[in-house]
Amino acid sequence: MKRGKWASSFGFVLAAAGSAVGLGNIWRFPYVTGQNGGALFLIAYLIAVIFLGLSVMYAELSLGRHTHKNPVGAFEKIKPRSLWKGVGFLGIVTGISILSYYAVIAGWTLFYTYISAAGKFKQGLSQTDVNGIFSSLVSSPLLTVSLLFLFMLITVYIVSRGVSSGIERWTGILMPLLFVILIFLSVYALTLPGASEGLKFYLSPDLSKLNFHLVLTAVGQAFFSLSLGMGAMITYGSYLPDKDNLFSSGLEVVIFDTLVAFLAGIVIFPTVFTFNLSPSQGPTLIFKTLPFIFSKLPLGRLFATLFFVLLSIAALTSTISLVEVAVAYLVDERNMPRTKAAFLVGLIAFILGIPSALSSSIKPFTSFIAGKDFLSIMDFTWANVSLPLGALLISTFVGFIWKAKNAAEEIRFHKSKKFPGENIWIFFIKYIIPLVLLAIFISTVL
């Protein structure tokens, strides 16, 4: 079967940015930052993005573009009949697992779109009102599971339409708009009375809080946010024409993604401190914070609705890429028709997502392991453990099996002269990244 291709390189950047920008930036980043003490976490995160994320981004994109294959096929093509294709399978499993709970949260954003449009975030909103709205959602098994189902259905439908007419057409168009709204909300958040306290929490680090859990979480967040460590960027890179400039495309995606996350923090933390909320409350953070900001804004109803529509779309362009990894495998390697593959993957992820959807309503999912609910356990396992592990294996493969200099040639524009920082990149992908990730793993286990 003929493989898909992006229609333009700008289309690719939008699709890859669409994969990267999502709930990871606006839902996950503020909540893990809040849980890990704020500013110090932000610094660790930025270091992880620049020193680990960017390098792994190039490793994945070059592997995909060079082989024009799904993650399993890519490893198999370069090192046939070896265990390395297991890394591709790990990516597929990780993708489906992340998708399963990610779509639950995405379902919440759909519900919040509806609540906003219905004008529920009105002037004088109290803490009790906000909690009430949230708990009426998450305590309803029927509602959360239906929203999960709905979101999965939309994702699968778009993926079934194919690479350029489905994914490329739908992704990215509204991304710039989301960005503009975030800037607007940031400016507004900075005028709130708690802004200075919020910024202090977010931007002035307390070095005594440094620990390995924080470092692992920052690294996990960096990979999660950039869609790395599970083959999404291998897959998206595989649809790139050979003449595209990987270096600049990869850089643009990383910069845009990081800016969006940073801005989300600028919106959330001043709001948290203005309304005496807890920055460390976990996955519920944005859902209990943002309503306050909307309730105070002039035209708040309009802004709230627009914001949650865009957030749902940002989530959608990410779930699309999570599905696409497994679909690319089924289409390339198993000759399955795209539509059938998309629906199969969606069905598996939906079933796997049900316990996450019930994480706030039904035992034992409400307190699954060590008092944490099922969704939090899934999020920790797949984002903080599996993605760094995948990134470790991918870098080792690119550095030593495929060989970093071959990958570097793929990254070069028109395969001619060296790209900026080429030697540093080679050094990082071979030594720094594997060693740092290994060290983090060992210390976390100990």
Q: Which of 144, 160, 271, 318 binds ligand PHE (CB under 6 A)?
A: 318
How many other β-carbons are positioned within 10 Å of the β-carbon of residue 73? 21
Q: 401-405 long-range contacts, Cβ below 8 Å, gap at least 24?
A: 401/78, 401/79, 401/84, 402/63, 402/78, 402/79, 404/429, 404/430
Q: Which is nearer to ligand PHE, 354 or 391 (CB)?
A: 391
How many other β-carbons are positioned within 10 Å of the β-carbon of residue 334? 9
98 touches ligand PHE (CB under 6 A): yes
Q: Provide the minimum distance between the beta carbon of 427 and ligand PHE in the complex, in angstroms, as a whole number.
A: 26
Q: Which of 4, 11, 18, 22 binds ligand PHE (CB under 6 A)?
A: 22
Q: Which of 33, 144, 227, 312 binds ligand PHE (CB under 6 A)?
A: 227
225 touches ligand PHE (CB under 6 A): yes
- Token duo for residue 86: 């297991």
Q: Which of 110, 230, 272, 394 binds ligand PHE (CB under 6 A)?
A: 230
CA-to-CA distance for 249 and 425, rounded, in angstroms? 16
Q: Which of residues 406-425 bind ligand PHE (CB under 6 A)?
A: none
Query: What does residue 345 show for φ and ψ, rounded to 5 degrees?
Result: -60, -45
Q: Provide the minimum distance between the beta carbon of 127 and ligand PHE in the complex, in angstroms, as a whole number.
A: 28
13 touches ligand PHE (CB under 6 A): no
158 touches ligand PHE (CB under 6 A): no
Q: Which of 31, 134, 224, 247 binds ligand PHE (CB under 6 A)?
A: 224
Query: What does residue 338 show for φ and ψ, rounded to 5 degrees?
Result: -55, -45
CA-to-CA distance for 174 and 441, rounded, in angstroms? 38
Amino acid at 11: G
Q: Find, among 301, 310, 208, the residue nearest to 264 by Cα.
A: 310
Q: Which of residues 231-260 bind ligand PHE (CB under 6 A)?
A: 232
Cα 230 versus chain centre, distance:
11
100 touches ligand PHE (CB under 6 A): no
Q: Find, among 154, 93, 165, the residue nearest to 316 by Cα.
A: 154
Q: Provide the minimum distance between the beta carbon of 214 and ligand PHE in the complex, in angstroms, as a whole number.
A: 19
Contact region with ligand PHE (CB under 6 A), list: 113-121, 262-270, 274-282, 318-326: 318-326
Provide the angle, in degrees to the nearest 10, between the axes of the packed helices 175-189 and 246-274: 30
Q: Which is nearer to ligand PHE, 103 or 426 (CB)?
A: 103
Q: Which is nearer to ligand PHE, 188 or 224 (CB)?
A: 224
Q: Provide the minimum distance between the beta carbon of 323 and ligand PHE in the complex, in angstroms, as a whole number.
A: 9
Binding mask 167-206 for ligand PHE (x = CB under 6 A): ----------------------------------------
Cβ contact 71:91 at 8 Å: yes
CA-to-CA distance for 318 and 306, rounded, in angstroms? 19
CA-to-CA distance for 382 and 385, rounded, in angstroms? 6
Radius of gyration for the chain, computed over Cα atoms and rounded to the nearest angstrom: 21
Cβ contact 107:147 at 8 Å: yes
Q: Which is nearer to ligand PHE, 15 or 266 (CB)?
A: 15
Size of the site for ligand PHE (CB under 6 A): 15
Strand partners, 372: 369
Q: Which is nearer to ligand PHE, 24 or 194 (CB)?
A: 24
20 touches ligand PHE (CB under 6 A): yes
Q: Which is nearer to ligand PHE, 148 or 192 (CB)?
A: 148
Q: Provide the minimum distance between the beta carbon of 321 and ligand PHE in the complex, in angstroms, as a whole number.
A: 5
23 touches ligand PHE (CB under 6 A): yes
Q: Which residues bind ligand PHE (CB under 6 A)?
A: 19-20, 22-25, 98, 224-225, 227, 230, 232, 318, 321-322
